[in-house]
A = this chain, B = another copy of it.
Amino acid sequence: MKAGPSPEEIRRHNLGTLLRLVHLRGPSSRATLAETMGLNRSTILALTNDLTAAGLVREELPRGPGRRAGRPSLVVRPESTRVYVLAFDVGVDRLAVARVGLGGEILDRREATRTRAAFDTNEMIGALAGAARALERKASRGAVCVGAAMAFPGTVRRNDDVIRFAPNLDIGDVSLGDALSRRLGLGLPVAVRNDANLGAIAEHERGAGVGCEDMIYLHGDVGFGGGIIVGGRLLGGQEGYGGEIGHMVVNPGGRPCACGALGCLEAEVGERTLLSLAGRRESADMVGRDAVRAVVDAADRGDIQARDALHRVGDWLGRGVANLVNLFNPGMVVFGGTLRDIYLGSAAQVRSAMATNALDAPRERVKLRTAALGDDVTLVGAAEHAFAEVLNDPIEVLARLRSPEPESVG
């Protein structure tokens, strides 16, 4: 139990709050910022000047249409091209790397598809680092990279970013972040986080869940991940493993799951089960999102086996969501990745299973939505995580990044 903050801590908090506002909500006038933050205009002016001097924002006339008559007021705009992060997204079927500017704009990106059979950690790290360096070379002079983070489809220990469990990638107990950081050679750590956890942050801050302080994000890749926002913050639990929704057992004695248990939500709802129920074999050229979409499209066209498969999977999905509704009383549940398509193809079954299995009180007002950020949801989440440090303490972090490391002197 700590005492309240010092004046210097408050100043840093306010600098971070202002920067976060223009980062998340876009260019804003000082008047709007003053009103939103509940501060007077002279304080906002001082904060803006500090952030401008640090190269994090600039003030300029609003761009584009919609300007009113008379002298328009200046807006505070994030320095998107001068301040950026590197975001890495490791999917089971694809790799993506992006340079994302302050304000959230994806400035540049590289993508590659992967084949599931041949997974090699070194090769992956090499591919990610190569793509990142290519992006770096195209950054404007004087631009500064303020963070890097990776979305990964596995269970990641918070303290040291070690991957503890990633059944769909056959990798275990390694620190991918350290390895990538060394290969990048930017002097920056690369944080590694569970992809669905980052997807939850992205949808909460920039997607369907903006303004919803209690929401659950469900992410389908080959596996089934989750991220849970409680009171506006990601539920990490004691060691960062929280949100393993895919391994909630919904059907004891059911289908075997890669984790060793039977009847996990992932086993009953995952891509492989859907394809198998729909009578389709996994093939090298038809996996992942495309394969799932093909089943949903077939069901739409009247393919009975595809429709039954979707309905069966949707029933388990609804049972899983019912449990989450009883446990978390969320305001919203968001379906992303392949679960977006699965939900759209089985919404009636999902709702019916929820009606049977969830209590009325928490079920009545929960909204079901699809991810607004589409296929970029986990990549955007990685970028948001990479921005976290500079948004918490903008001036300090910028000063550190722009000055030589004390260790490297002498």
List chain A positions with a Cβ less than 8 A from chain B: 1-5, 9-11, 13-14, 17, 20-21, 36-39, 43, 155, 157, 164-165, 213-214, 226, 228, 230-231, 233, 235-245, 247-252, 259-261, 319, 322-323, 326-331, 356-362, 365-366
Contact between B362 and A237, CB atoms less than 8 A apart: yes
Contact between B1 and A9, CB atoms less than 8 A apart: no
Which residue of the partner chain, among B37, B164, B235, contacts A1 with CB atoms under 8 Å? B37
A-B pairs with the 7 shortest C-beta distances?
A: A237-B329, A4-B10, A164-B361, A241-B329, A238-B331, A244-B326, A242-B329
Known: A10-B5, A323-B248, A357-B261. A233 touches B235 (CB 8 A): no
Docked CA distance A330–B11 (Å) = 34
Contact between A252 and B251, CB atoms less than 8 A apart: yes
Nearest-CB residue, chain B, relative to A173: B361
Contact between B327 and A327, CB atoms less than 8 A apart: yes
Docked CA distance A233–B361 (Å) = 22
Nearest-CB residue, chain B, relative to A361: B164
- Return A211 CB to nearest CB of chain B, in Å: 12
Nearest-CB residue, chain B, relative to A156: B361
Contact between B359 and A241, CB atoms less than 8 A apart: yes
Which residue of the partner chain, among B9, B36, B322, B329, contacts A236 with CB atoms under 8 Å? B329
Docked CA distance A14–B3 (Å) = 5
Docked CA distance A249–B265 (Å) = 12
Nearest-CB residue, chain B, relative to A238: B331
Docked CA distance A92–B236 (Å) = 35
Contacts of A248 in B (CB 8 A): 323, 326-327
Nearest-CB residue, chain B, relative to A242: B329
Contact between A249 and B319, CB atoms less than 8 A apart: yes
- Return A44 CB to nearest CB of chain B, in Å: 9
- Return A53 CB to nearest CB of chain B, in Å: 20
Docked CA distance A308–B244 (Å) = 32
Docked CA distance A239–B326 (Å) = 12
Nearest-CB residue, chain B, relative to A167: B359
The 24 sampled A-B contact pairs (Cβ below 8 Å) are: A1-B17, A1-B36, A2-B17, A3-B14, A3-B37, A4-B13, A164-B361, A165-B359, A214-B237, A230-B231, A230-B235, A237-B329, A238-B330, A238-B362, A239-B365, A240-B329, A244-B327, A247-B359, A248-B323, A252-B319, A259-B359, A261-B356, A323-B323, A327-B327
Q: Known A-B contacts: A165-B361, A231-B233, A241-B359. Give 18 more (CB < 8 A).
A: A2-B17, A3-B39, A3-B43, A4-B5, A155-B359, A155-B362, A231-B235, A238-B365, A238-B366, A239-B365, A240-B329, A243-B327, A247-B326, A248-B326, A249-B322, A250-B252, A259-B359, A323-B323
* Number of identical protomers: 2
Known: A230-B235, A249-B357, A359-B247. A9 touches B4 (CB 8 A): yes
Docked CA distance A263–B230 (Å) = 27
- Return A256 CB to nearest CB of chain B, in Å: 12
- Return A390 CB to nearest CB of chain B, in Å: 16
Contact between A37 and B2, CB atoms less than 8 A apart: yes
Contact between B238 and A329, CB atoms less than 8 A apart: yes
Contact between B357 and A155, CB atoms less than 8 A apart: no
Docked CA distance A284–B260 (Å) = 45
Contacts of A36 in B (CB 8 A): 1
Contact between A361 and B327, CB atoms less than 8 A apart: no
Known: A9-B4, A252-B251. A328 touches B165 (CB 8 A): no
Nearest-CB residue, chain B, relative to A260: B356
Contacts of A328 in B (CB 8 A): 235, 237, 242
Docked CA distance A21–B164 (Å) = 38
Docked CA distance A354–B258 (Å) = 16
- Return A58 CB to nearest CB of chain B, in Å: 20
Contacts of A330 in B (CB 8 A): 237-238
Docked CA distance A365–B328 (Å) = 23
